[in-house]
Structure 1
């Protein structure tokens, strides 16, 4: 006979790239995972996972069992959520994925406050340089993304508008001067952030009178963390492209100044994606509501 814990164990295996990764997700040792899997297979008299090198693969029987298990677990979780809603409780696991800079500065504090308000919540925050890519690797309920998205058939909630800006430090502007046209950018030191699969060296610009152009830049320095790039810009290293939420305070105080203010880059709105496989729960809806009210529009400069 299979129990709920067995079904959860099998579904965890099905989403992991290896038994070792499944062990990390489950918080146990790899030998413990192998032993439990062997016991399940002996009990069912079926092989559920292919043995051998390479990524973890389910057998046909294992895939069938996981599909049935997911349906059962969804019903069990839905029932538990319904009862929690009836009781007005916000509890259980909440898995959130966010980009490094925005996640560390904004999502992490809001998730901590949300968890403090609801002590029965069990939050997990995973920071990634490629949140959209991370959605295919492991459990998640809410994914925060900054920037334009591919065509995903996933529920999206816009949390806040967000412009992309070209900036440099006031010291750099005084020492070197600033370009007055896109063509003059090539004479300057450029820094880029490489935090996802986008081409960081291509800047699509829209200028006065509807002029549009794709500016190819040659970066002198780069990093996969946008906040490091912002810090380098503040040190006077050169011109960088950053989100409005990241540099609005620096622009207000004059530590950074805008470069080519008459030209604009495509907006990079902040959105929340909701996992279509996750049971829609009160904790997910309330957390997204807190994100909407907590992030808001960046202050003007």
Structure 2
């Protein structure tokens, strides 16, 4: 006999690439997950998961259990939300994913305040180099900077965020002045490598002169935005960074905007929600708290947040 607890457990396993990942999500050891999975398979009398190397895949029977289990878990969550709503309470488990730097600076404090305001909610905040829509099945809210892509998902904008071409005063003092994007080909440029994006093709728009693209040849590159920002501060070259990340540096003169008339494409701060998770009261309440904390955006206040670290 399969219980509702079994279905909740197996849904976590089914949504993971390995038993080790399942263990992290369940906050238990990998051997504990293996033991419980074996016990479940023995009770149903068939194998539910194929284990090959470090990865796992569902058998046909496992896929059947997962699909039915999803419906049961959804029904249990909906019932829990409705009951909580009748007593004006928010309860359950909330899984939030966010970029490292932005998450530490702007999401973690909201999680802290939210947990204090709603003691019936448990929250897991995962910070990652690249929050992606593919994580929606195992999370409630994914905070993302930039266009999330054409996937089937609910997307809500949390705050505006320009991207700014910038460099240190020391670097700019020792090089010829820049008058147009094409001049960047003669300068040291710093880039953040993200996914499979063509990060060496920089695009700009001018209010009166239209659009321009330029193929730069990076002097330095990294997959960590914090590193690129530090290189820019150290005078290594010119970088495109998110407004939220460098607003304080610009305000205090550690960085200067380059070609201020030419704007790179903006990268709004958005929340991606799975269609299954978007209905929960805890998700709605958390999004309300997060949106309130970002309105107006801290990086556009008179005292923008201090140095941060992250992508975007």
Q: For the superposition of Structure 1 and Structure 2, which TM-score range results when normalised by the shorter chain?
A: over 0.9
Q: Shift of residue 147 of structure 1?
A: 0.9
User: Would the alpha carbon gap of residues 228 and 51 (structure 1) be closer, same or farther in structure 2, given more than 3 Å must change?
Assistant: closer
- Structure 2 CA distance for aligned equivalents of residues 264 and 32 of structure 1: 52
- Structure 2 CA distance for aligned equivalents of residues 84 and 97 of structure 1: 24
Q: Shift of residue 23 of structure 1?
A: 2.4
SS at match of 1:205: strand
Correspondence for 2:308 = none
CA RMSD in angstroms comes to 2.0
Q: Shift of residue 168 of structure 1?
A: 0.8
Correspondence for 2:75 = 75
SS at match of 1:148: coil
Correspondence for 1:271 = 270
Give the alignment of 1:134-213 within 5 angstroms: 135=135, 139-213=138-212
Give the alignment of 1:1-301 within 5 angstroms: 1-53=1-53, 55-132=55-132, 135=135, 139-278=138-277, 280-296=279-295, 297=297, 298-299=299-300
User: How does the TM-score come out when normalised to structure 1?
Assistant: 0.92
- Structure 2 CA distance for aligned equivalents of residues 11 and 193 of structure 1: 35
SS at match of 1:192: strand
- Structure 1 CA distance for aligned equivalents of residues 33 and 130 of structure 2: 29
Q: Shift of residue 282 of structure 1?
A: 1.7
Q: Shift of residue 251 of structure 1?
A: 1.7
CA contact (8 A) 1:248 1:300 kept: no
CA contact (8 A) 1:74 1:279 kept: no
CA contact (8 A) 1:178 1:259 kept: no
- Structure 2 CA distance for aligned equivalents of residues 245 and 111 of structure 1: 19
- Structure 2 CA distance for aligned equivalents of residues 241 and 15 of structure 1: 35
Moved more, 102-111 or 256-265: 102-111
User: Would the alpha carbon gap of residues 252 and 35 (structure 1) be closer, same or farther in structure 2, given more than 3 Å must change?
Assistant: closer
Q: Shift of residue 274 of structure 1?
A: 1.1
CA contact (8 A) 2:228 2:239 kept: yes
- Structure 2 CA distance for aligned equivalents of residues 188 and 97 of structure 1: 36
CA contact (8 A) 2:202 2:213 kept: yes
Count of matched residue pairs: 300
SS at match of 1:123: strand
Output one character per residue of 1:54-103: Cα deviation in whole Å (capped at 9) or x when no partner. Answer: 63121111111111111111101110111111111122211111112211
Q: Shift of residue 195 of structure 1?
A: 3.7
SS at match of 2:300: coil
Unaligned runs of 5+ in 2: 303-312
Q: Shift of residue 273 of structure 1?
A: 0.9
User: Would the alpha carbon gap of residues 222 and 254 (structure 1) be closer, same or farther in structure 2, given more than 3 Å must change?
Assistant: same
SS at match of 1:204: strand
User: Would the alpha carbon gap of residues 149 and 27 (structure 1) be closer, same or farther in structure 2, given more than 3 Å must change?
Assistant: closer
Unaligned runs of 5+ in 1: none
